[in-house]
Amino acid sequence: MKKSTINGKDFYDYIKSGANEVYGMKDDLNRINVFPVKDGDTGTNLVMTMNSIVDETEVSDDFDVMIRSMSNVAFESARGNSGIIFASFIGGFSNACGQLKTLTMEEFSNGATVAVEEAYSAVSTPVEGTMLTVIKEWADYIAENYKKHHYFSDLLEAAYSRAKIALDETPEKLEILRKNKVVDSGAKGFVLFLEGINNLVSELKSTIHEQPKVLINDSVFENSINDSNHDLLTSFRYCTEIVLRNDIAEKSKIEALLNNFGDSMIVTGNGRLIKLHIHTDSPDQVTKKLIENNYVISKSKVDDMKIQNDVELNRLSDIAILTDSIADISMELIEKEQIHVVSASLIADESVYLDKMTVTQDNIKAILDNSKKYPSSTQPDVKQIRAKVEWLLGHYKSVVVISVSKALSGTYGNFEKIVDEYALNGYDIKLLDSKLNTSGQGMVVLKAAEMANNGHAVEDIVNMVESEIPRTDIYVSLDTFKYAVKGGRVPNKIGTVLMFLGAKPVMTLKRSGEGTAFGLAFSRKSIDKKIMRHVSKIKTEYGIDRYSIVHANNPELAEQYAIMCEEIIGMKPLYMTPISAVTTIHSGIGSVAISLVRGR
């Protein structure tokens, strides 16, 4: 493949072949991932970023058409530090060479130089001994030596050799790497990417293999890095990534706005999109600040690094329990039992928020009050679920997924697509329809996690869930029909009349998982009494095994419910916690719910 000029299709093939090589070593990259955080997902993030680029780029011989499409896909799909740096690398080529139909080696050299500048400028505090260093050494060799080579194959092979040397030197530049006797994971990922390109241009591989969609290794529990040096290297909990539909000229303004919200900030983009990465304790406050300054959020991703790190160092079970954010469980119990969650999304005007992460009870009222159109919700998307399942199956032998009621949400359907995909490839993953929501779903998920952590088998957990679903009830006291009408859960004409009359409803779920009205009253006091009388009746007829109380910005009433329930049931609630922000747009500010599991 002796070429002195390449077109858009050639460049795309380089990326695809490089991505294949990274895929093959994904688990090794996860295993050696110790900087900036020991969260074991650098390989997964790189593979998923590159998969999206390969799958979604508009392939064209015209380099201009191809690279602009690739840049947009890269910034929208980039995951993790390494993925975002790689997206900046692609963006640099787009900025430098986007107007060209083909590339000479000189033009390619210019693109590589700008790619380095973009990658470094994206990181608020660049650190040597990382992926950045290897990219720079590779690009520097190309800039210094492209005139000495007649063909791309020769130039790229020689530049690859320089990059390998730089990779071997990363432990000399970064103490955490030297201490753990590893090279930088992101840097190694980039060298593997270059190796894949060389395999193509040197004709060591006659074809470009398709990338499998199921990316799990067989030896998921091999991990040679186990000492106590792998605590989080950041004091912040959430790895937060946000795509903004704004010009990258806003980069310095965004950095100034968010400087006090966390660390590991990366801000990069391509003129149409901005990709923000930050480690923070308050993703919702980051979002609030951006919205206050008129930024439009098109996509977000938030990973809980605390739970990731706990799983890396002290996994409690071989069975992972995964659910969605509609399941209301206190954060303390999620952390204690290592429960894994994917977020539904809330859409307000043009911005998209992640439930319980970038939209919480701390900012939902402001969003409801300030939105021009009443917000709507959508289930976790398939890519988001695949990423979570991919990570879990890299750390656990089995995964049990417990979804919000299939009758209430498309979440179950999206879970099903991914679960079927992995199950067909031999992985032990099960999906259960809880036929519940909010804290009813949450209590079933919590018990499943407790069983897993106490050594029970998957079959036992599945049997428990299926037996507890029909014994679990929820009663939601709505302060008004207003939000149910706006959210489309109650017809407008009926809701308008009931609001005029001052009616306050109680909602519950049928055994099939569909929502239904349980009762109606014309004062909060009356509706609360109705609920407590029913709780007392259940206690007498069936007994109550456990219960929980949740609320939408109404902790005072939730506390009153806890006091009344304790008098009736004779025990305190299992937990009290705010409800999902997505649920809040349907139940409304002020709503309170009690969920209980019957004794028989």
Closest among 553, 593, 600 to 359, alpha carbons compared: 553
Average pLDDT over residues 289-293: 88
Q: What are residue 475's phi and psi, to 5 degrees?
A: -130, 120
The reported pLDDT for the residue numbered 593 is 94
**Assigned token pair, 550:** 């949740």
Which pLDDT does position 233 carry in this prediction?
Answer: 53
Task: Say yes or no to pLDDT of 101 above 50.
Answer: yes
**pLDDT tens figures, 131-148:** 999 999 999 999 999 999
Q: Is 504 left (phi over 0), alpha (psi -120 to 50) or beta?
A: beta
Phi, psi of 491 (to 5 degrees): -55, 145
Q: Which H or E run includes 464?
A: helix 458-468
CATH of the domain at 276: 3.30.70.980
Same domain, 30 and 113: yes
Q: Residues 6 or more apart from 124 whose CB is under 8 A from it? A: 255, 264, 265, 266, 267
Q: Is residue 320 part of a domain?
A: no
What is the C-alpha separation between 189 and 187, in angstroms, rounded? 5
Using only the alpha carbons of the chain, give its radius of gyration: 26
Three-class SS state of 508: strand
Q: Max Cα separation, the chain?
A: 89
Domain contains 109? yes
Nearest to 130 by CA among 4, 283, 266, 272: 266
- Report d(CA 239, CA 37) in Å as an integer: 10
Same domain? For 192 and 262 the reply is no
CATH number for 111 = 1.25.40.340
Are 322 and 340 within 8 A, CB to CB? Answer: yes
Please indicate, yes or no, whether residues 174 and 239 belong to a single structural domain of this protein. Answer: no
Is 400 inside a domain boundary?
no
Q: Are residues 190 and 48 in the same domain?
A: yes
For the chain, the distance separating the N- and C-terminal CA atoms, rounded to the nearest angstrom, is 72
CA dihedral 539, 544, 546, 551 (to 10 degrees): -40
Q: Cα separation of 242 and 237, whole Å?
A: 16
One domain, residues 165 and 19: yes
Q: How confident is the model at residue 580 (pLDDT cuts 50, 70, 90)?
A: very high
Quickly tell me which residue has 């590991």 as its tokens. 264
Higher pLDDT, 192 or 123: 192
Tell whether 500 and 542 lie within a shared domain: yes
For 24, the 3-state DSSP assignment is: helix
Q: What is the model's pLDDT at position 167?
A: 95
- Distance between CA atoms of residues 595 and 572, nearest Å: 13
Domain termination site, one of 315, 331, 363: 363
Which comes out higher in pLDDT, residue 549 or 209? 549
What percent of the chain has a predicted confidence (pLDDT) above 90? Answer: 62
| Residue at a domain's end among 207, 225, 258 | 207
Question: DSSP assignment of 527-570, as one string?
Answer: HHHHHHHHHHHHHHHT-EEEEEEEESS-HHHHHHHHHHHHHHHS
Model pLDDT, residue 272: 74
| Interval 201-234: pLDDT, tens | 876 443 334 444 444 443 333 333 344 344 445 6
- 373 pLDDT tier (thresholds 50, 70, 90): confident
Which of 236, 361, 248 minimizes the C-alpha distance to 295?
248
CATH code at position 529 = 3.30.1180.10
Token duo for residue 113: 């130089």
Q: What is the mean pLDDT of residues 37-53?
A: 84
Residue-wise pLDDT for 310-326, tens only, equals: 998 899 999 999 999 99
Whole-angstrom distance, CA of residue 149 vs CA of residue 418? 47
User: Domain containing 508: what range?
Assistant: 471-598
Helix axis angle for 42-56 and 382-393, nearest 10°, is 140
Do 31 and 122 share a domain, yes or no?
A: yes
Asked if residue 13 and residue 152 are part of one domain, the reply reads yes
Three-state secondary-structure class, residue 372: coil
Average pLDDT of the chain is 87
Residue whose pair of structure tokens reads 């007829």 in the numeric block = 541
pLDDT at 324: 97
Mean pLDDT of 175-185: 91
Specify the pTM.
Answer: 0.76
Residue 84 has pLDDT above 60, yes or no: yes
For residue 322, tell me if it sits in a domain: no
The answer on pLDDT for 270 being more than 90 is no
521 Cβ contact partners less than 8 Å away, ≥ 6 residues apart: 503, 504, 506, 527, 530
Q: Are 184 and 258 in a shared domain?
A: no
258 with 111, same domain: the answer is: no
pLDDT band at 528 (very low <50, low <70, confident <90, very high): confident
Supply the DSSP string of 31-79, one letter for each residue: HT--SS---S-HHHHHHHHHHHHHHHS---SSHHHHHHHHHHHHHHH--
Write the CB contacts of 294 (distance below 8 Å, at least 6 apart in sequence).
none
Instruction: Please determine, for residue 543, whether its predicted confidence score (pLDDT) is greater than 90.
Output: yes
| Mean pLDDT, residues 29-50 | 83
117 in a structural domain: yes
DSSP 3-state assignment of 392? helix
Report if residue 332 sits inside a domain. Answer: no
SS3 272: coil
Burial pattern 515-529, b for ≥16 Cβ within 10 A else e, equals: beebbebeeeeebbe
- 30 with 43: CB under 8 angstroms? yes
332 vs 493, higher pLDDT: 332
Torsion angles phi and psi, residue 242, rounded to 5: -135, 135
Assess whether pLDDT exceeds 70 at residue 398. Answer: yes
Task: Report the domain count for the chain.
Answer: 3
For the segment 317-370, what is each residue's pLDDT rounded down to a tens digit? 999 999 999 999 999 999 999 999 999 999 998 888 999 999 999 889 888 888
Over residues 392-416, mean pLDDT: 95
Q: What Å distances lie between residue 552 and 283, 472, 523, CA to CA?
A: 19, 21, 18
- Residue 240 domain flag: yes
Same domain, residue pair 198 and 239: no
- Name which of 17-26, 76-85, 179-188 the model is least confident about: 76-85
The whole-number pLDDT of residue 522 equals 61
Distance, in Å, from the CA atom of 63 to the CA atom of 525, rounded to the nearest integer, reads 68
Q: Is residue 212 part of a domain?
A: no
Written as six digits, the tokens of 266 are: 């990366």
Give me the amino acid identity at 224: S
Distance CA 35, CA 51 (A): 23
Mean pLDDT of 374-385: 89
Residue pair 372/22 in contact by the 8 Å Cβ criterion: no
Q: Are 597 and 443 in contact (CB under 8 A)?
A: yes
Phi/psi at 353 (5° precision): -115, 150
- Same domain for 73 and 200, yes or no, is yes
Q: Can you give the pLDDT at residue 246?
A: 65
